[in-house]
Amino acid sequence: MWDLLNDAPNQESATFNPQTGVPSDFRFDSRETLYGFFIQDNYKLKPSLTITAGLRYEYFGPISEKRVRAAARQGVGQR
């Protein structure tokens, strides 16, 4: 009940069709490119005052499959 009230997922790992977002039992060899970095510096303005500034950048690339048309060959997502 606590998870429901906090809008928290009860499970964070599942298999979904990347084209439709529908849960499926079919295994996809998905790949995603992720980059991230963080830099930080401290500035001492007075003996009793220090300012800390940081910059963070993250890149979440598009999801793709290991074999480009693996889902289409297996008939997933086709009607």
Q: What is the full DSSP assignment across 37-67? A: EEEEEEEEEETTEEEEEEEEEEEEPPPEESS
Q: Of 56, 54, 65, nearest to 16 (Cα)?
A: 65
In a domain, 2, yes or no: no
Cα-trace Rg, the chain:
22
Residue 19 has pLDDT above 60, yes or no: yes
Query: pTM (2 decimals)?
Result: 0.42
pLDDT confidence of residue 47: 92
Q: What are phi and psi of 12, to 5 degrees?
A: -110, 0
In a domain, 7, yes or no: no
65 or 18, greater pLDDT = 65
pLDDT confidence of residue 57: 95
- The structural domain count of the chain equals 1
* Structural domain boundaries enclosing 69: 20-79
Looking at residue 16, what DSSP letter applies? B
In a domain, 4, yes or no: no
Reported as a pLDDT band with limits 50, 70 and 90, residue 12 is low
* Residue range 56-73, pLDDT digits in tens: 999 988 877 776 655 555
**Kind and range of the H or E run holding 14:** none
Quick one: average pLDDT of 38-46?
95
